């Protein structure tokens, strides 16, 4: 998608305060849960507008009521996270091709299970998926039995304590190349079918130098304000609109 383009040191994939917010994303909402699964834009402070139809909007934890944003954000909810998500690129089979080492997400904890994943590739073209989940207890590496599936590195994720936060929102900063060595860590392997170890796997395991991001997928349940990529990480100077401002 962007592999042949000149890439600046900072690229914004999603901003809830801009126009045409989901231009680069596809949305997938669990149709079997019409009252529980929902993806939509609303005001973080007022939770308005309310969804139409039978959807029952999840209320944020009451202890967060004094630390909200008076801004439009994207609300994603479902009791079954794998079936409700947004993904970039929107087109199936297309890779992002962005070579930035850092990914950043501004997200609000809604007190429910939440997960997101980043597809990465090494310089040989071997690809894998790194998934971060609040419900995951231990790091696990799932090596698929089918050659057309990708290895999945599943890692635990936790939000900071509310008592240490100025807002109910958190900025998650991840340096993606640091996770590549975990794809060849045999201690993390979660076996499938007849696979005994990584040497018998029929899939290509990413293990060389980091190359690029293939996709980003955000599952339920959370609120998202911004997703961006950078070369310099959290110390890189950002435009003022990237900052989080709470209103009590």
Q: Residue 35 and residue 47: Cα distance in Å, rounded? A: 17
Res 216 pLDDT > 60: yes
What is the chain's mean pLDDT, rounded?
87
Find the mean pLDDT for residues 155-178.
83
110: left (phi over 0), alpha (psi -120 to 50) or beta: alpha
Beta bridge mates, 128: 120
Residue 234: which residues within 8 A CB-CB, separation 6 or more?
Answer: 102, 104, 171, 173
- Give the pLDDT of residue 134: 95
Res 248 pLDDT > 50: no
Q: Residue 169 and residue 164: Cα distance in Å, rounded? A: 11
b (16+ CB within 10 A) / e for 93-125: eebbbbbbbbbbbbbbbbbbbbbbbbbbbbeee
pLDDT tens-digit map of 169-215: 889 999 999 999 999 998 898 755 444 555 555 678 998 899 999 99
Q: Which two tokens stand for residue 87?
A: 């993904």
- Give the pLDDT of residue 194: 41
What's the predicted TM-score (pTM) here? 0.89
**Count of C-beta atoms within a 10 Å radius of residue 183:** 23
Residue 9: which residues within 8 A CB-CB, separation 6 or more?
Answer: 100, 230, 231, 232, 236
pLDDT tens-digit map of 81-140: 999 999 999 998 899 999 999 999 999 999 999 999 999 999 999 999 999 999 999 999
């Amino acid at each position: 998608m962007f592999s042949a383009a000149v890439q600046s040191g900072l690229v914004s994939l999603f901003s809830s305060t801009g126009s045409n917010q989901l231009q680069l994303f596809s949305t997938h909402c669990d149709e079997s849960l019409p009252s529980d699964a929902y993806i939509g834009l609303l005001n973080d402070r007022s939770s308005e507008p309310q969804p139409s139809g039978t959807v029952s909007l999840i209320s944020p934890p009451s202890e967060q009521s004094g630390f909200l944003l008076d801004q439009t954000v994207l609300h994603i909810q479902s009791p079954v996270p794998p079936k409700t998500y947004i993904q970039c690129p929107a087109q199936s089979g297309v890779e992002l091709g962005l070579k930035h080492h850092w990914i950043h997400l501004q997200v609000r904890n809604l007190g429910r299970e939440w997960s997101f994943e980043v597809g990465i590739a090494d310089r040989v073209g071997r690809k894998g998926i790194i998934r971060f989940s609040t419900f995951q207890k231990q790091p696990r590496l799932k090596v698929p039995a089918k050659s057309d599936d990708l290895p999945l590195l599943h890692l635990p994720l936790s939000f900071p304590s509310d008592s240490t936060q100025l807002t109910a929102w958190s900025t998650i900063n991840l340096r993606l190349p640091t996770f590549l060595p975990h794809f060849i860590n045999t201690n993390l392997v979660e076996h499938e079918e007849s696979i005994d170890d990584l040497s018998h796997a029929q899939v290509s395991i990413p293990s060389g130098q980091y190359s690029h991001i293939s996709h980003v997928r955000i599952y339920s349940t959370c609120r998202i304000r911004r997703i961006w990529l950078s070369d310099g990480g959290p110390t890189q100077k950002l435009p003022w609109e990237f900052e989080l401002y709470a209103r009590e």
